[in-house]
Amino acid sequence: MPAGALAIDPSRLTAFNVVQATDPEELDSRSRVSERLPGQSRTYKYRLRDPALCRMRFDQPIFGMAIRSAGAILVSQAANRFSTAVDVDGTADEHFCFATMLRGSISVFEKGAHATGSQGRGLAYRTGPGSRFLFSDDSLRINVFLKVAEVEGALEHMLDERLREPLVLGGELDWSGGLAASLKGQLDFVMREFQRTDGIADNPVSLASMTDLLATLVLRAVPHKYSDRLTAGSAGAVPAYVWRAEEFMRAHCAEPIRMAQVAAAAGCSVRTLGAVFREFRGHTALGALHGIRLDQVMRDISQGASDAPVAAIARRYGFTNASRFAQAFRRRFGETAPEVLRRAARS
């Protein structure tokens, strides 16, 4: 049986709202833990699976959860010292959840279906009335939640039509390869960024791009009833769409831009936009926006358009991660931003 401190570390999650429990009575039928979680319209009934533990008292927390939300994304890290069952009451969650296990395992039961997540396998689900979760001893997990409306909106743009039925996502995800591995990489990145006080959660420009990227990856990586249609081909390419889209992105590259806005400015659907960019530019529209923003950083630095430090200029265009920005800048221009700045100063 596990002992000692809980796996979650609040000192590393200072940007999060942290809830902890040391008393099994806090995990009662109207869970006091639920009451302390922000903005919940559901009740979570926590129950330690070993009845003997319910009569004990502990000096260290037996449950912990840290939560932070920004825009359409909510991130949480949660830990249980002891095997715990959780039953859900209330309305359906407005988010899809994508769970990554760092320690232990989780089993999810929804409408007769059952899925299990472990360190090599993630889970996708949407919590609703009657959902049940079983967590193992000494479990630690990261959950990234994305609003259902965002994912469904992205799907409608990709299909260029309104959905007749709600999107259903659920089941196990093999993190070892394919687009599922790409999705896990982005989920890990989002968690790291939300732990920072100056990351994408605090930058509307980069947060909007990350939301679009996550929604697209989810729809490509997680199987659902529309998957075949998404891979069945794309609409005919019209080069004028590309030019109009690029013109719009250049004019608004310092603002939070969604691909739906770019498509509207180009006069086409998001699905068509993706098709013409892949055919005529060899990358996605989101990749084009990333390149345009790098070009604008280069222009500001090399032309002395701003006296601000390089980091501040990069952040203005949505680059909040210094190392990722440096790598992307060097790949695109063959030199570093400080080298460009020094050359501009000499000239």
Residues paired with residue 45 on neighbouring β-strands, in sequence order: 87
Question: What's the CATH fold of domain 1-224?
Answer: Jelly Rolls (2.60.120)
Contacts 24+ apart (CB under 8 A), 297-301: 297/329, 297/337, 298/329, 298/332, 298/333, 298/337, 298/340, 301/337, 301/340, 301/341, 301/344
Compute how many other C-beta atoms are within 10 angstroms of the C-beta atom of residue 104. Answer: 20
Tell me the pLDDT tens digit for each residue of 189-222: 999 999 998 999 999 999 999 999 999 999 999 9
Decide: 275 and 237 in contact? Cβ < 8 Å.
Answer: yes
How many Å apart are CA 189 and CA 54, to the nearest integer? 37
Domains 1-224 and 233-347 alike in fold:
no
In the block, residue with structure tokens 């990749």: 287
Domain-by-domain residue ranges, the chain?
Answer: 1-224, 233-347
Please tell me the CATH superfamily of domain 233-347, with its number.
Answer: Homeodomain-like (1.10.10.60)
Q: Count CB neighbours of 42 within 10 A.
A: 16
Q: Find the mean pLDDT for residues 118-132.
A: 91
Residue 290 — φ and ψ, nearest 5°? -60, -45
174-187 exposure pattern, b = at least 16 Cβ within 10 A, e = fewer:
ebeeeebeebbebb
User: pLDDT grade, residue 236 (50/70/90)?
Assistant: very low
pLDDT digits (tens, 9 = 90+) for 143-199: 999 999 999 999 988 887 888 889 999 889 999 988 999 999 999 999 999 999 899
